[in-house]
Every structure is written in C-alpha cells, then in structure tokens.
Amino acid sequence: MDARRIAFIKPSALGDVAHALPVLTALRVRFPAARITWVINAAFEPLVRGHPDLTDTLPFDRAAFRRGLWRPARYAVGFAAELRRRRFDLVVDLQGLLRTGLMCLATGAPVRVGFAAAREGSRYAYTHKVRVPDADRIHAVDRYWRVAEFLGAGDVPKRFHVPLDPAEVAAARADLADLPRPRVAVVAGAKWVTKRWPPAHFAELLRRMRERHGGSAVLVGAADDTALSREVIAQAGMPVPPTGGGTGIPACAKDLTGKTTLPRLAAVLSVADVVLGNDTGPLHLAAALGRPCVAPYTCTRVRRHGPYTSMAGGVETAVPCGGSYRKTCPDMVCMAELSPDRVWPHFAEVLDAWGRSRAA
C-alpha cells in the first residue's frame, strides 16, 4: 500500500488524542514522503500544531453545530468540501463515530481504514476494517496500534511525542519557580462523576507528602473543576501565593485550574515532578510526556485506560462493580473503598524515587 496524502482522523478527546500519538509517528515512518493531516477538534488543535510528524492540521469546529439550524448545515457542507478538495488517498479513522464516518466518506479517498467494531454505523464508511477481538482486555493505546500494524507500520517502537513550545515551558518554569519541590501536578476533576476521587482523599495524600518530603501542589484542569481544586487546597491546608501582599508564609500550592491553554497545560505537566490525578485527559497527557503518574481508578480499568507510561501508578478499587464504565452511580461505594491508605504506597514510592534521583 502506498499513500501520498493521508487524513488522520482523531478529533477528541484530550486523553484519546494523547493515546493516538504513537500511531501518528508510526504512519510517518511507514509513509515518509506523504502529506499527513490531522483532522481534530479545534479545541485540541493547538496541542498537536507543529508536531514534527504532521504536515498540517484540519481543525473541526464542533461548536458550529450549536448555532441554530442553517449555520451548522452550511459549516458541514463547507467542511466536507474541504475534505474532498484535499484529495486524500488514505484515511485513518481512530474515532469510529457517525461524524467521523461521514468525514471518511466526504474525502472520497479510495482507502478508508477504521475499526470493524466502530460505533454509530461508522464502520460502513470504511473500505478496510481492523478487527480487535480483545479490545476489552487491552489498553486503548494498544488498540489504536492495531491500525498501525494493519498498515505495516507496527514494527517501530511506540513513541509519544508532544510538541512543546519552548516559550510556554519557560513561562511555566518561571510561574512555578517559587514552589518547593517535589512539585506535584494534581488533577482533581473529571467529566464523569464516577471518576472523581473525593477532594478529601487527594488532600490527605498531599498532607502526607508534605510531612515526608515537603513539596508543593499545582492544581490543573478545566474551569469546571475549579471548585474541586480549591477544596483540595483548603483541606490539605496548603498556603497559596498571596494576592494582596506578602503574608510571610511560603506558598506551597498554586491553582491553575481553568487558567491554562492546552500548550501551557502541556508545559506545566512537563515540568512537574509527579502527576497525581483521576483518569482524565491531563493525566494521559502527562503520561505521554513521560511524567511519573499516580491515579485512582474507580469506574474504569487500568489495563484499558491506565497512564500508559506509568501503569504501575494506577490503583483500582476492589469493589465488585469496579470498572463498570458507568458515568453515574447511586452508591459510589468505590470512593470509600479506594482510600488514601490504598493509594499512598504507590504515591510514596514515586516520591521516594524522585528523591533518590535528585540525590544521585
């Protein structure tokens, strides 16, 4: 199979975009002279812009479909026309939903590759279907990798490359310079309520960290998670930088929740010593950046969605309904069972490793 113009379709979400990065690099190795375009939601496009294995990006504006009736129709027709205009000869769809299936068809590409079990009828848009019979037993990264193998690109190592803006990294270092190390990035929020480990649990781990190692916490996440982040800081008793003048108490926490662009979030995570968080986008971005991660897992499974480069840091609940992948739950017994005592040995091990590496 040869290809000169490739559409790489993986619009969302943040964690899934991070999981797809090795496939992109494998495609570049397999098709070194091809133009590769990532079709991605406009909200996530800044994260992959400038990736060395990409030729360009094609942002897709999902917000356009919340603007009445005719404007979404016009946008969809225009976007489809742009897909057709680029004359792709190979399309790789890692999303597998109705809208991405329609994108595949709109390209008119002679070769369209996706998963045989793709949802919402999108599999009917593919000319070549990749079967993954063990999809419920392997990690999302490895499931995506089956597509790379199908295309003859699976014999290279899986590599995660997150393009970091040097100016953003410098700004992140400067912003956190006054915080004592180890600096722990904390992701207290998640879209699913069943993924949100209680703020009190995060706070307890941070208190133990402070007693044993000192250090500081940098809270990150979406604006909707701000209240959770503030609760973690308050319950941990960690002073924050003063806004109206010095207090004489050194700051050991900073709340950046909802205050970072995606490039700045990536930069902040890249300079964190450890990342502690729920199974959500920033955690997987941190794993793609190679940061040591520790994460409580309640309604999802580590083997399928753990922090790929730090799988030992994923700690699962032991309740019978754990890993149910339910977005809501009337009981939430997993939150009490997966206590700070259960997660602390993993967190302590990562902190100890950081201390040893710094002393070496």
Q: What are phi and psi of 142, to 5 degrees?
A: -70, -30
For residue range 160-197, list pLDDT tens digits in order.
Answer: 999 999 999 999 999 999 999 999 999 999 999 999 99
Cβ distance 199 to 231 under 8 Å?
Answer: yes
pTM (2 d.p.): 0.95
Alpha helices in 134-183 (DSSP H): 140-150, 166-176
User: For 28, how many CA atoms within 13 A lie in the half-sphere containing its CB?
Assistant: 17
What residue ranges define each of the domains in the chain, with the CATH number in brackets?
5-150 (3.40.50.2000), 167-359 (3.40.50.2000)
Residue 115 has pLDDT above 50, yes or no: yes
Confidence (pLDDT) at 248:
52
Average pLDDT, the chain: 95
Cβ distance 257 to 219 under 8 Å?
Answer: yes
Residue 296 has pLDDT above 50, yes or no: yes
User: How many Cβ atoms sit within 10 Å of the Cβ of residue 213?
Assistant: 18
CA dihedral angle for residue 225, residue 228, residue 229, residue 234, rounded to 10 degrees = 160
